[in-house]
Amino acid sequence: MESATHNYYPLLRTIENDRTVYEWWEELQDDKGGRANLRRCSSPVEATFQPAYHRLISELRRQGAVTALKDDPKLTIAAMAGLLAHIRTNTGVVPRRENTPENEKEANSPDSEPTGRGSRTFGQTLSGDAEVLSELRFRRLLQTDDQDTLYRTMIRVIRQCNYSVPLLSFAATIVFWEEDRTRQQLAFGYYDTPRKDA
């Protein structure tokens, strides 16, 4: 039976959406000016003024991902784009670029990187041996309803993670923050991760 880590389960709505966000982030690493401009944004509204944001939302709009969002999709994508600009290292899944026989063979090899929800999540990153957030701060994070407050809080969280987080798990957390399921999954990841003192 094939291991679950060798199947790709999209963290955003579709694999194409995941791939678009990941490749946009990769390109942003080479666009020092665009990345710096997004990092200077103190709110999602400010991020909407940046060309890098417009490149991302245009592609997601073409895929139909923007209209599927519950809240103001432009600000939701802006929040995600602005926050992803702070991430230097992806510690999570890497979506395959194309669904070709060669990629399938590579994905099913013993040396392949984990792809899908079987790998580390954002919630697990906040806990475990290197606990990033205390339980009190984590509970406060879960109670955050205001998008600007969430944006500022997540910038601090990324910094506390040494700018290394599972990119797509984090992106999905931001995009679907208003859905109860998102916070539930975050809580499961946080509390189910073993700690040294456990």
For residue 122, the 8-state DSSP code is: H
- With respect to residue 91, please indicate whether it lies within any of the assigned structural domains: yes
Q: Please state, in angstroms and rounded to a whole number, the distance separating the CA atoms of residues 165 and 90.
A: 5
Q: Give the residue-averaged pLDDT of 135-162.
A: 95
- With respect to residue 17, please indicate whether it lies within any of the assigned structural domains: yes
Output the pLDDT for position 157.
95
Handedness of CA 143, 91, 94, 40 (dihedral sign): positive
Whether 115 and 8 have beta carbons less than 8 Å apart is answered as yes
The per-residue pLDDT for range 71-127, each reduced to its tens digit, is 688 999 999 999 999 999 999 888 876 554 444 444 333 333 334 444 678 988 888
How many domains does the structure of the chain reveal?
Answer: 1
Q: Give the residue-averaged pLDDT of 179-191.
A: 91
The proportion of the chain whose per-residue pLDDT surpasses 90, expressed as a percent, equals 55
- With respect to residue 88, please indicate whether it lies within any of the assigned structural domains: yes
- With respect to residue 122, please indicate whether it lies within any of the assigned structural domains: yes
- With respect to residue 40, please indicate whether it lies within any of the assigned structural domains: yes
Kindly tell me if the per-residue pLDDT of 173 is higher than 50.
yes
Whether 88 and 32 have beta carbons less than 8 Å apart is answered as no
Domain harbouring 49, CATH code: 1.10.520.40
The per-residue pLDDT for range 48-75, each reduced to its tens digit, is 999 999 999 999 988 877 766 666 889 9
- With respect to residue 64, please indicate whether it lies within any of the assigned structural domains: yes
Q: How many other β-carbons are positioned within 10 Å of the β-carbon of residue 6? A: 17
- With respect to residue 83, please indicate whether it lies within any of the assigned structural domains: yes
Domain encompassing residue 103: 4-191
- With respect to residue 196, please indicate whether it lies within any of the assigned structural domains: no
Q: For the purposes of burial, counting CB atoms within 10 Å of the CB of 181, is it exposed (0-12), middle (13-18) or buried (19 or more)?
A: exposed
| Mean of per-residue pLDDT scores for the chain | 81
Q: Which two tokens stand for residue 35?
A: 């990345």
